[in-house]
């Protein structure tokens, strides 16, 4: 009859936004540990609560029905504990790791080993034990030897400040301070437990450092501590308590939204630990939700809104870190289930309690009892009152901005209107003021393509679209992919950087959820699989700028990332959102497409909170190159950047020149004519619409006019265009034969179609023969070149280093059609020159 009990709904809630435990898979080694005491509760197995994911996958339903869950109150095991010793004449502190047997009980705070397998040096995580059990067969008789591989512990996480997201609202914290998580518990194995630790609540911090004052050769005696002479011989060591195992906890943190709440840890642990075991079987008992903390939200009314604002303003003016000296005396007056921070906020203002707190039924009304009267023994399990926490003054305004009430439906991510194009005094151009007051030098500095502003003109719609898509994924906490495409020079990467900068500002002001950001550029990687290393460094909290890159292989990073995002172990109590910018996605596409598949698949996993922004130069790259399984995980969020028009290119150039003139003040001389800007924009918009090209042309035009201190004219623009057409690459392309130019055009076409730079020789030959019937020639179109003649054309291009042919011993074993060809000159230059030389027919095939 007990087997037919169905698990209640709350046990199947989503694990999203919750930290995950560190061990992965089932334990394989037998540990020297056993249960301390008799079982305290037994019920049927709840697979969602009591079994690991691997166990749920391996066991059948009949085997699960034959199991029962037995809960215990204590666990005895041997652990490595680090102790500090002071000894010898030098009196130096020494650390020793000793193996000691310790007993762990429910409510004990412990240190848990984080994922150090992949050389990420993290301090141990802090947690509190909320349940311990084993799942065993029903025919196991009492007293049989316990298998440690079946032992499980459920812990509720504390978070260190270093385990929070790197981009968040900064706040000061004390040394060894930890934050209690709202609702974040997970199953761990005994093998990852390091040792006991101590967490103190408000007003209960201890000073664990031993100070020795030295006066000349003598030393002062400290009460409670013996000197080396009094303790015996000089070489004998004195044991001290390790200060790294003592923590203080005064706040609850919502790591997903970056909000903090007042909290009394000792009162909370006291109220939860006093709960009794239920008389009847409860399938959800041991799930650890009794250790969760509820948020008490202010409920505003129109009549009392003004008065409530006055109360909040008075509260925010107080120091949030001020601890009352009589906190320990008030612990006895605090009811079970009440938070000391809540009661302190009501002192002196009892009439406002109904305004700040939610209405409660009379059964939950606070009742004061006489402490001298002993409490009657409970015959039935009493119902626990939830522990409530109120926002700190630091988080009240942020809670209102983020709409912290969980009962209200969240509004969609709102995008604030951007300011106009930044002036010369903005942060991105402060070095302009350090330059000489030469209008030509400042104009050339502003027109340089490497001088990237914080916001781009003529891209406001795209900026708002990208910001809204990424912001909604960040607010919802669900992972996702955003695919951004467009020809080179249309502001894709610059717009994404502007979006990330805006999200950073919002996260630091508590206007959006905190996150971690990492940029992966395909052109800067030695191989596509190196992207795994960069992402693992970001999610593991490793500071590559300070400590250098991790010396791990791509396979190890891939294994760690798979465990991290799949909801398994290795995540620890951090588990915050992460935004990844994958620029030049074309370079990360391989034959197996495993890199792009993994990066697009991880955001689809529940609880990953990974947002991938993929930037590529081809709009239909997923349809042409990627397989079906990759496209299905890419999602439907696609944003295409159209090439700049003539008007937009003029606006971009004038905005940069206007910033240079603004830095010189009124009356500064114009360095280039308006007609010259219009002509340059018109020619570039007719070819590619590349903003970088028009900026480069205008900068060279100003450079020609600088020696004479005159204003650049249309003639200067024409001179720049003639110089561009007579460079060595242009001269070479103009002197190429018909079949050489056609082979280069075929190579460019295949590069656009495939989305990669290395093209197989067989595909180039096939495209070359197709173009023979499209482009008119002087010879007979029916006469096609043979395979040997095409090889001669390829060798001619390879001899001039226009293309690079794959070589090597392994390549010699392949078929000739499998050999790969790489274009060794700029693709845009090839398209421009071939279009100018060949006319409309060539321009049509290159732009199609």
Residue 426 pLDDT grade (very low, low, confident, very high; cuts 50, 70, 90): low
* Whether 88 contacts 96, CB under 8 Å: no
| Res 673: pLDDT | 92
Per-residue pLDDT reduced to its tens digit, 688-733: 888 988 999 999 999 999 998 899 999 999 999 888 777 788 888 8
| Res 699: pLDDT | 93
**CA pair distance 291, 274, nearest whole angstrom:** 12
Per-residue pLDDT reduced to its tens digit, 611-648: 999 998 877 778 777 778 888 888 778 999 999 999 99
* Cβ contacts of 790 within 8 Å, gap of 6 or more: 739, 743, 765, 768
**CA pair distance 756, 827, nearest whole angstrom:** 12
Residue 415 pLDDT grade (very low, low, confident, very high; cuts 50, 70, 90): low
| Res 138: pLDDT | 81
The H helix count followed by the E strand count for the chain is 30, 27
DSSP 423-476: -TTSGGGGGGGGS-S-HHHHHHHHH-TT---SS-TT-HHHHHHHHHHHHHHHHH
Phi, psi of 654 (to 5 degrees): -65, -35
Phi, psi of 74 (to 5 degrees): -145, 150
| Res 477: pLDDT | 79
Residue 13 pLDDT grade (very low, low, confident, very high; cuts 50, 70, 90): very low
| Res 806: pLDDT | 87
| Res 495: pLDDT | 92
pLDDT at 652 over 80: yes
| Res 743: pLDDT | 93
Helix or strand run (H / E) with residue 261: strand 259-262
Report all structural domains of the chain as residue ranges with CATH numbers, in order of start: 1-367+383-399 (2.30.30.490), 477-641 (3.40.50.300), 646-725 (1.10.8), 730-847 (1.10.10.10)
- Please give the residue that has the higher pLDDT: either 532 or 384: 532
- Burial (CB count within 10 angstroms: exposed 0-12, middle 13-18, buried 19+), residue 597: middle
Residue 427 pLDDT grade (very low, low, confident, very high; cuts 50, 70, 90): low
Per-residue pLDDT reduced to its tens digit, 340-363: 333 333 333 333 333 333 444 444
| Res 468: pLDDT | 92
Per-residue pLDDT reduced to its tens digit, 262-311: 888 988 988 887 777 887 788 888 888 889 888 776 555 454 455 445 54
pLDDT at 214 over 80: no
| Res 49: pLDDT | 86
Q: What is the DSSP letter of 509?
A: T
Rounded to an integer, the average pLDDT of 475-495 is: 88
pLDDT at 424 over 50: no
| Res 414: pLDDT | 66
- Please give the residue that has the higher pLDDT: either 688 or 496: 496
- Burial (CB count within 10 angstroms: exposed 0-12, middle 13-18, buried 19+), residue 2: exposed
| Res 26: pLDDT | 53
| Res 452: pLDDT | 77
Q: Which of 157-161, 183-187, 714-718 has the lowest mean pLDDT?
A: 183-187
Per-residue pLDDT reduced to its tens digit, 747-786: 998 888 777 788 999 999 999 988 887 776 655 555 788 9
pLDDT at 740 over 80: yes
| Res 696: pLDDT | 92
Rounded to an integer, the average pLDDT of 138-148 is: 68
pLDDT at 21 over 50: no
CA distances from 129 to 37, 247, 288 (A): 16, 16, 9
Q: What is the DSSP letter of 177?
A: B
Mean pLDDT value across the chain: 75
CA 325 remoteness from chain centre: 40
- Please give the residue that has the higher pLDDT: either 835 or 484: 484
| Res 249: pLDDT | 92
Rounded to an integer, the average pLDDT of 664-671 is: 80
Residue 428 pLDDT grade (very low, low, confident, very high; cuts 50, 70, 90): low
| Res 208: pLDDT | 38
* Whether 386 contacts 345, CB under 8 Å: no
**CA pair distance 67, 656, nearest whole angstrom:** 73
| Res 105: pLDDT | 92
**CA pair distance 431, 378, nearest whole angstrom:** 74
| Res 527: pLDDT | 87
| Res 420: pLDDT | 52
pLDDT above 70 coverage of the chain, percent: 70
| Res 539: pLDDT | 84
| Most confident residue range from 229-243, 298-312, 490-504 | 490-504
| Res 75: pLDDT | 92
**CA pair distance 741, 735, nearest whole angstrom:** 9
Rounded to an integer, the average pLDDT of 20-24 is: 40
Per-residue pLDDT reduced to its tens digit, 324-342: 444 344 444 333 333 333 3
| Res 207: pLDDT | 41
DSSP 353-382: HHHHSPP--GGGS-----TTSPPPPPSSPP
| Res 194: pLDDT | 87
Rounded to an integer, the average pLDDT of 539-559 is: 82
pLDDT above 90 coverage of the chain, percent: 21
**CA pair distance 343, 250, nearest whole angstrom:** 14
Greatest distance between any 2 Cα atoms in the chain:
113
| Res 401: pLDDT | 58
CA distances from 77 to 85, 128, 154, 193, 194 (A): 24, 17, 16, 10, 11
| Res 236: pLDDT | 45
* Cβ contacts of 35 within 8 Å, gap of 6 or more: 72, 74, 75, 76, 134, 146, 151
Q: What is the DSSP letter of 572?
A: B
């Amino acid at each position: 009859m007990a087997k037919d009990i169905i698990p209640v709904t709350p046990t199947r809630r989503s694990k999203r936004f919750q930290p995950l435990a560190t061990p992965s898979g089932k334990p394989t080694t037998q540990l020297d540990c056993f249960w301390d005491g008799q079982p305290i509760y037994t019920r049927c197995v709840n697979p969602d609560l009591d079994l690991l994911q691997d166990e749920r996958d391996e066991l059948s339903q009949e085997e699960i029905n034959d199991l029962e869950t037995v809960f215990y109150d204590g666990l005895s095991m041997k652990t490595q504990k680090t102790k500090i010793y002071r000894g010898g004449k030098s009196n130096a502190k020494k650390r020793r790791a000793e193996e000691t047997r310790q007993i762990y009980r429910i409510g004990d705070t412990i240190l848990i080993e984080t994922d150090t397998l992949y050389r990420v040096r993290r301090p141990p995580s802090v947690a509190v034990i909320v349940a311990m059990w084993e799942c065993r067969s029903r025919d196991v008789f009492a007293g049989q030897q316990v298998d440690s591989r079946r032992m499980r512990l459920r812990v509720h996480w504390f978070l260190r400040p270093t385990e929070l997201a790197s981009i968040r609202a900064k706040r000061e914290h004390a040394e060894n301070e930890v934050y209690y998580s709202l609702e974040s518990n997970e199953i761990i194995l005994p093998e990852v437990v390091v040792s006991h630790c101590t967490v103190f609540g408000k007003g209960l911090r201890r000073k664990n450092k031993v100070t020795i004052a030295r006066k000349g050769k003598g030393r002062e005696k400290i009460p409670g501590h013996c000197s080396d002479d009094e303790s015996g011989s000089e070489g004998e060591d004195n044991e001290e308590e390790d200060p790294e195992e003592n923590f203080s906890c005064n706040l609850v943190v919502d790591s997903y939204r970056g909000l903090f709440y007042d909290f009394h840890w000792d009162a909370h642990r006291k109220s939860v630990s006093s709960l009794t075991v239920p008389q009847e079987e409860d399938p959800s008992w041991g799930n650890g939700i009794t250790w969760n903390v509820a948020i008490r939200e202010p409920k505003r009314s129109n009549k009392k809104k003004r008065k409530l604002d006055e109360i909040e303003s008075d509260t925010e003016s107080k120091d949030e870190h001020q601890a009352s000296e009589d906190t320990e005396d008030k612990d006895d007056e605090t009811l079970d289930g009440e938070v000391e921070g809540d009661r302190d906020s009501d002192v002196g203002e009892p009439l406002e309690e109904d305004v700040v707190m939610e209405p409660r039924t009379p059964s939950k009304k606070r009742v004061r009892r006489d402490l001298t009267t002993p409490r009657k023994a409970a015959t039935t399990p009493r119902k626990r009152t939830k522990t409530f926490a109120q926002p700190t003054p630091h988080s009240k305004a942020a809670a209102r901005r983020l709409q912290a009430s969980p009962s209200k439906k969240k509004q969609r991510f709102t995008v604030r209107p951007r300011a106009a194009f930044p002036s010369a005094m903005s942060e991105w151009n402060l070095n302009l003021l350090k330059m000489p007051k030469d209008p030509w030098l400042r104009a050339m500095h502003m027109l340089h393509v490497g001088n990237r502003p914080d916001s781009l003109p003529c891209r406001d719609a795209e900026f708002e679209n990208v910001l809204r898509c990424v912001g909604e994924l960040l607010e919802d906490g669900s992972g996702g992919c955003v695919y951004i495409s467009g020809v080179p020079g249309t502001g894709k990467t610059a717009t994404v950087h502007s979006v990330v900068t805006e999200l950073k500002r919002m996260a630091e002001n508590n206007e959006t959820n905190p996150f971690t950001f990492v940029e992966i550029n395909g052109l800067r990687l030695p191989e596509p699989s190196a992207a795994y290393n960069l992402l693992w460094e970001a999610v593991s909290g490793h500071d590559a700028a300070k400590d250098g890159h991790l010396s791990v292989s791509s396979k190890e990073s891939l294994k760690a990332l798979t465990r991290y995002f799949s909801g398994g172990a290795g995540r620890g109590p951090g588990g915050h959102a992460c935004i990844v910018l994958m620029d030049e996605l074309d370079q990360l596409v391989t034959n197996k497409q495993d890199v792009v598949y993994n990066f697009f698949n991880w955001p689809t996993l529940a609880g990953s909170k990974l947002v991938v922004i993929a930037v590529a130069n081809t709009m239909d790259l997923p349809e042409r190159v990627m397989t079906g399984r990759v496209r299905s995980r890419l999602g439907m969020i696609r944003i295409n950047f159209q090439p700049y028009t003539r008007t937009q290119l003029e606006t971009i150039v004038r905005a940069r020149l206007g910033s240079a003139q603004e830095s010189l003040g009124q009356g500064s001389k114009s360095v280039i004519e308006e007609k010259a800007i219009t002509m340059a924009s018109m020619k570039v918009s007719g070819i590619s619409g590349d903003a970088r090209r028009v900026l480069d042309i205008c900068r060279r035009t100003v450079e020609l006019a600088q020696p004479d201190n005159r204003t650049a004219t249309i003639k200067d623009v024409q001179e720049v265009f003639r110089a561009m057409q007579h460079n060595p690459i242009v001269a070479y392309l103009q002197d190429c034969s018909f079949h050489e130019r056609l082979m280069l055009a075929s190579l460019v076409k295949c590069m656009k179609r495939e989305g990669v730079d290395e093209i197989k020789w067989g595909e180039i030959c096939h495209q070359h023969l197709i173009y023979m019937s499209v482009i008119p020639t002087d010879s007979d179109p029916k006469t096609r070149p043979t395979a040997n003649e095409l090889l001669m054309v390829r060798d001619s291009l390879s001899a001039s280093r226009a293309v690079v042919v794959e070589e090597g011993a392994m390549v010699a074993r392949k078929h000739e059609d499998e050999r790969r060809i790489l274009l060794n000159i700029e693709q845009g230059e090839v398209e421009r020159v071939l279009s100018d030389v060949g006319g409309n027919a060539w321009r049509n095939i290159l732009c199609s």
